[in-house]
Amino acid sequence: MGNKTIDLEPETPYHTFPVDRVAEDFKTSVLEGISSEEAAIRLKYYGTNELEGNNGVKWYRVLLRQVANVLVCVLLIATVLAFATKDFAEGGVILFVIVMNAAIGFWQEFNAEKTMEALRNMSSPTAQVIRDERRVTIPNNQTVPGDIMIFEDGDVVGADCRLFEAFNLETDEALLTGESLPVQKNLAMIENADQALGDRLNMIGKIATSLMNVDSDEQTPLQKRLNKMAYFVFIGAIVLVIVVFGVHGFKYSEEAAIYSISVSIAIIPEGLVAVVTLTMAFG
């Protein structure tokens, strides 16, 4: 919903319920729908029927995510240290790796964000519902929980729905699941509460909503492990710097500074971030 997010999914999902139980939960009638007055009350409470994150793709946010991680920050520090010791070759290589990694990551993630934005914009501008015992056409963002929606050939599903009447109903879910053929839907209850979204044949719309609600900022297990490794590398570099200065009696000299910086740069896996990005982009 546009104004606020309210979870309407019960502990036991609706695809496991009979139609009359679903109608009872939403205080609606499958024949008469809800009244206009009740619809206005629900619209005010739940907000408009719009997917979150529909503010367009911000390129600078995508770019920022490419450098806002621990491993890249460690590489940036290594670049500064390399240039500080006039090791321009080493610094140039590390800087090139950072730029290449950011460019590939940006290209991959920006295209993915544009695809998700296209899915958000696929929603139909209008919807047919039953209000006051009559079939009416309303803006799709004005539909509310409990509305009885009517779909015809070629219509775009604009909300999550539990089917209660259908004849030879098939839906095109190719953009959502990759399934090339239309999916046959039916009205039967599905006993398995943990049934995969694509196999909930008595529901429509739920797959799209679940895809939109995926948190793009959530880190994968691999990213978490890489960040953890970067912390250890950074701590290890600091320890080696202390050791090198300890060997020189903790007295500052240009030689000690060069040795400590060189050792700290040497343990940083400059190529790892690029290898991971390339593997995930093309592998």
CA distance 271 to 97: 7
* DSSP label at residue 205: S
Q: Contact, 198 vs 179, CB < 8 A?
A: yes
Average pLDDT for residues 5-31, to the nearest whole number? 77
Residues 132, 271 share a domain: no
What pLDDT digit, counting tens, does each position of 204-216 carry?
Answer: 554 445 444 445 4
Give the pLDDT band of residue 281 (cuts 50, 70, 90): low
Q: Are strands 126-131 and 134-139 parallel, antiparallel or unpaired?
A: antiparallel
Edge to edge, the sheet with strand 134-139 lists: 134-139, 126-131, 148-150
Q: Bigger pLDDT: 223 or 93?
A: 93
Residues 155, 202 share a domain: yes
Residues 171, 72 share a domain: no
Average pLDDT, the chain: 77
For the beta carbon of residue 4, count every other beta carbon within 10 angstroms.
Answer: 9
Give yes or no for residue 279 having a pLDDT over 80: no
- CATH code, domain with 147: 2.70.150.10
Amino acid 42: pLDDT: 92
Residues 276, 165 share a domain: no
Give the pLDDT band of residue 93 (cuts 50, 70, 90): confident
Q: Bigger pLDDT: 49 or 139?
A: 139
Residues 226, 243 share a domain: yes
What pLDDT digit, counting tens, does each position of 128-183 carry?
Answer: 999 999 999 999 889 998 999 998 888 888 788 888 888 888 888 776 666 678 88
Q: Contact, 185 vs 171, CB < 8 A?
A: yes
User: What's the domain count of the chain?
Assistant: 2
What value, to the nearest 5°, has the Cα angle with vertex 120 and ends 149 and 18? 35
Q: Please indicate, yes or no, if residue 73 is contained in any of the structural domains.
A: yes
Residue among 283, 226, 94 at smallest CA distance from 102: 94
Give yes or no for residue 200 having a pLDDT over 70: no
Residues 233, 197 share a domain: no
Average pLDDT for residues 25-31, to the nearest whole number? 90
Q: Please indicate, yes or no, if residue 49 is contained in any of the structural domains.
A: no
Domain around 93: 59-118+219-282
Domain boundary among 166, 183, 212: 212
For the chain, the distance separating the N- and C-terminal CA atoms, rounded to the nearest angstrom, is: 36
Domain boundary among 154, 188, 212: 212
Give yes or no for residue 67 having a pLDDT over 50: yes
Residues 133, 32 share a domain: yes
Q: Please indicate, yes or no, if residue 34 is contained in any of the structural domains.
A: yes
Q: Give how far Cα 128 sits from Cα of 124, 187, 261, Å.
A: 11, 20, 68
Residue among 74, 112, 79 at smallest CA distance from 93: 79
* % pLDDT > 70, the chain: 73
Q: Please indicate, yes or no, if residue 47 is contained in any of the structural domains.
A: no
